[in-house]
């Protein structure tokens, strides 16, 4: 539970690579996510190439941080799934698993949406050289944090409703 309350968006990273074994742990956490009828609609493109990160960062102001991130995961959604209407939900759960494991490992990260912006999805899909039948869904920059702050308590009792 600690990672749930400690996790935050980290947008500044130390200039050092993330070890391969940590990347594997992060990806294992993502693949452990539940999905509709276990369709597991995800594939992952781990980007450490500086030029690709720079090109991805040029899509807009909210993704500029990619230029200085040591790594990013571009989440690819498979189009050949039995319940495509559940893919956004499945992918979101997967992202959260990855984010929580990233925090647990002492790293930091931030998710950047691509879906449902077809133009940005197409750019990321092409830049990562995704195979046919895949479409970029979102991006997750991660690395060793170069910033810290206290987590926010977002609990708001007024948003809880009991149906009896």
Query: What phi, psi does 118 have (nearest 5°)?
Result: -55, -35
Q: Is residue 77 part of a domain?
A: yes
Under a CB-based contact definition with an 8 Å cutoff, are residues 127 and 52 in contact? yes
Higher pLDDT, residue 4 or 29: 29
CB of 93 within 8 A of CB of 99? Answer: no
In contact, 107 and 49? CB cutoff 8 Å: no
Residue 1 has pLDDT above 90, yes or no: no
pLDDT classification of 131: cutoffs 50, 70, 90: very high
* Residue 164 within a domain: no
Query: What pLDDT is recorded for position 128?
Result: 98
Mean residue pLDDT of the chain comes to: 95
What pLDDT is recorded for position 151? Answer: 80
Residue 24 forms part of a structural domain: yes
Distances (CA, A) of 111 to 10, 40, 83: 9, 19, 24
Residue 42 lies in a domain: yes
pLDDT at 150: 81
In the chain, how many domains are there?
1
Residue 17, pLDDT score? 97
5 pLDDT more than 80: no
CA distance 78 to 46: 16
For the whole prediction, is pTM greater than 0.75? Answer: yes
Task: Give me the domain span that covers residue 123.
Answer: 2-159
| Residue-wise burial string across 38-77, b where 16 or more C-beta atoms lie within 10 A, e elsewhere | ebbbbbbbbbeeeebbebbbebeeebebbebbbbbbbbbb
* Percent share of the chain, pLDDT over 70: 99
CATH number at residue 125: 3.40.109.10
pLDDT digits (tens, 9 = 90+) for 45-88: 999 999 999 999 999 999 999 999 999 999 999 999 999 999 99
Q: Is residue 96 part of a domain?
A: yes
Domain-located, residue 93:
yes
Residue 69 resides in a domain? yes
Q: 81-113 burial string, b = 16+ CB within 10 Å, else e?
A: beeeeebeebbbbbbbbbbbbbbebebbbbbbe
Beta-carbon contacts of residue 62 (< 8 Å; ≥ 6 apart)? 112
pLDDT at residue 3 tops 80: no
Beta strands in the chain (DSSP E): 42-47, 71-78, 108-113, 134-143
Q: Judge whether 12 lies within some domain.
A: yes
């Amino acid at each position: 539970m600690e990672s749930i309350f400690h996790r935050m968006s980290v947008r500044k990273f130390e200039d050092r690579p993330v070890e391969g074994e940590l990347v594997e742990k992060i990806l294992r956490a993502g693949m452990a996510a539940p999905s509709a009828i276990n369709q597991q609609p995800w594939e992952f493109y781990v980007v450490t190439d500086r030029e690709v990160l720079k090109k991805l960062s040029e899509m807009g102001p909210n993704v500029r941080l990619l230029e200085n991130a040591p790594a990013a995961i571009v989440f690819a959604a498979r189009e050949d799934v039995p319940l495509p209407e559940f893919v956004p939900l499945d992918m979101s759960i997967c992202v959260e698993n990855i984010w929580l494991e990233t925090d647990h490992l002492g790293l930091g990260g931030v998710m950047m949406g691509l879906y449902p912006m077809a133009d940005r999805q197409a750019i990321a899909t092409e830049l990562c050289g995704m195979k046919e039948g895949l479409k970029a869904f979102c991006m997750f920059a991660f690395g060793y944090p170069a910033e810290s702050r206290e987590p926010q308590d977002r609990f708001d009792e007024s948003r809880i409703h009991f149906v009896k």
